[in-house]
Amino acid sequence: MSGSLQSRVLRGPAATLAGNPFEQPSRGCLITHDDALIIIEDGRIAAFGPYAELNDTLPEGVAVEHYPGHLLVPGFIDAHVHYPQMQVIGAFGTQLLEWLETYTFPAEMSFADAGHAGRVAHLFLRELLRAGTTTAMVYCTMHPQSVDAFFTEAARFDARMIAGKVLMDRHAPAGLLDTAQRGYDESLALIERWHGRGRALYCVTPRFAPTSTDAQLDAAGALLKTRDGLFLQTHLCENLAEIEWVRDLFPARASYLDVYAHAGLVGPRSMFGHGIHLHEGDFCTCHQAGAALAHCPTSNLFLGSGLFRLFEAVDPRRPVKVALGTDVGGGTSLSQLQTLNEAYKVAAMVGHKLDAVQGFYLATLGGARALGLEDRIGRLAPGMEADICVLDPKATPLMAFRAGYCASMEELLFLLMTLGDDRAVRATYVAGRPVYDRDRSGDPFRPAHGEEQP
């Protein structure tokens, strides 16, 4: 991890997850301290526990950063988001396939300009941090410079980010198409440049089956074998018309997921966006392969795609790993608190109640497990990377009033996930550094390695 050895100490109420609340009672999965200390050494958590127990172990000469009345939680994890779609978030009135043609593809064409890519990456990283998100799995465009711009900006904050160049060799505008070979070559060069550099991790990224030929999907599978620890991200069963299209394009395959499986793309670091219309056989395949699904409720509702069956996906008899995704720009917010608000409603509409512990699990430890990064991120514990979000349950007058009637930590967490948004994020720490502080005068952002305006 970059940066010199440094110590930092945070104090305040804290909450983190230690187990899976979809497989055991929620209360037993939640660790809380009314007054906690987090001792950080060189970007990692060295100690975490009650203030009364750790106060005598504080590093000499290190000031305590105290957040009374707030809540220290692990940084949020966004498992599915498109940074080039920032400029079309909130665009009116289409479903998935028309959305791509009308809004997404024209927006992505502009990333041929490296300067534009840099400006959008600059905004995107800061908006993630404003929302308390410290790790994201990110779609760039087919332009290598879009990947360079994203990882360059992430490196300024020393952020644990996963991203990749989109692969498309058909059914898109000519300016957005590569070929199977060009996509492979450009991706491999990006892998060599970025994967494992600092906290950057690379993700092989075919957009979705209809925009890649068999040859390109096979090339994506070959890319996954070139380095250890590479990720795979794509879309799966988001929209009924999309599924019919895949059936027409790949008549020899048993299902949409089987298209990816045939190319070697279904494995323990594979993240499939949406998965709304999966059947039981697909859930079983994901379970057996260790593949994960990204639940993107604001996007699914905004585009009218359908209701994700979260509790069927995580069925303990053959659980599938599920993370939470904002899916901007089809999604309407980069805030995981707002995303959890919609996830609760989607679950309710299909007959389940998503409690606050389950919600925060999806956004933290569950997301880390879905990515295979639970040894690094997703919880407050010794040895973990010190990515921390400081939440303010009294960020608005209404929240402050309602918080006065919360009788438990679970109620306070539920308040945050139903009424909270980026205003409820007081501060964000990345690798132990305070890179965002809502109440800092002037620019609230402080990159780890200095500011460079694009």
Percent of the chain with pLDDT over 70: 98
Answer whether residue 443 is part of any domain: no
Alpha helices (H) along 43-177: 51-54, 96-99, 105-109, 114-130, 144-157
> Could you tell me if residue 1 is inside a domain?
no
Last-in-domain residue among 319, 347, 371: 371
Tokens of 101: 């043609």
Mind listing the pLDDT tens digit for each residue in 283-302?
999 999 999 999 999 999 99
* Claim to verify: residue 89 and residue 190 sit in the same structural domain: yes
Provide the pLDDT for residue 94.
87
pLDDT at 29 > cutoff 90: yes
Q: Supply the pLDDT for residue 448.
A: 86
Report yes or no on 447 lying in a domain.
no
Residue pair 258/284 in contact by the 8 Å Cβ criterion: no
Nearest to 163 by CA among 276, 84, 268, 260: 84
330 and 422 share a domain? no
Confidence of residue 44 (pLDDT cuts 50, 70, 90): very high
Residue 451's pLDDT is 55
Given CA atoms 70, 367, 386, 383 in this order, what sign does their dihedral have? positive
Residue 23 falls inside a structural domain? yes
Task: Compute the average pLDDT of residues 310-314.
Answer: 98
Give the amino acid at 23: E
Q: What is the CATH number of the domain that holds 394?
A: 2.30.40.10
**Res. 454: pLDDT tops 70:** no
Last-in-domain residue among 353, 371, 389 = 371
Q: Report the pLDDT value the prediction gives residue 204, as an integer from 0 to 100.
A: 98
d(CA 302, CA 92): 9
Residue 3 has pLDDT above 50, yes or no: no
- The answer to whether 423 and 365 have CB atoms below 8 angstroms apart is no
Domain hosting 281: range is: 76-371
Would 451 be classed as within a structural domain?
no
Residues 6+ positions from 263 with CB-CB distance below 8 Å: 214, 217, 218, 220, 221
Regarding whether 188 and 213 lie in a shared domain, the answer is yes
Residue 261, domain member (yes or no)? yes
pLDDT, average across residues 31-45: 97
Please report whether residue 390 resides in a domain: yes
Domain termination site, one of 371, 392, 426: 371
Say how many C-beta atoms besides its own lie within 10 A of residue 175's C-beta: 13
pLDDT tens profile 183-211? 999 999 999 999 999 999 999 999 999 99
CATH code: domain of residue 114: 3.20.20.140
pLDDT score, position 193:
98
Q: pLDDT tens across 138-171, in order?
A: 999 999 999 999 999 999 999 999 999 999 999 9
Report the chain's C-alpha Rg in angstroms.
21
pLDDT confidence bin for 1, thresholds 50/70/90: very low
Write down how long the chain is. Answer: 454
Q: Percent of the chain scored above 90 by pLDDT?
A: 96
Residues 88 and 62 occupy one common structural domain: no
What pLDDT digit, counting tens, does each position of 421-452 carry? 999 999 999 999 999 999 999 999 999 886 54
Token pair belonging to 9: 């100490």
43: cis peptide before it, omega within 30°?
A: no
pLDDT in tens, 79-137: 999 999 999 999 998 899 999 999 999 999 999 999 999 999 999 999 999 999 999 99
CB atoms near residue 366 (< 10 Å):
28
pLDDT for 450 equals: 63
The whole-number average pLDDT for the span 208-216 is 98
Q: 3-state DSSP call for residue 324?
A: strand
69 and 81 assigned to the same domain: no
Q: What is the pLDDT of residues 221-278, one digit of tens each?
A: 999 999 999 999 999 999 999 999 999 999 999 999 999 999 999 999 999 999 999 9
| 453 within a domain of the structure (yes/no) | no
* C-beta separation of 195 from 202 below 8 A: yes
> How much is the pLDDT for 145?
98
Question: What mean pLDDT comes out for the span 357-366?
Answer: 98
* CA dihedral (321, 372, 157, 431) positive or negative: positive
Q: How many domains does the chain have?
A: 2
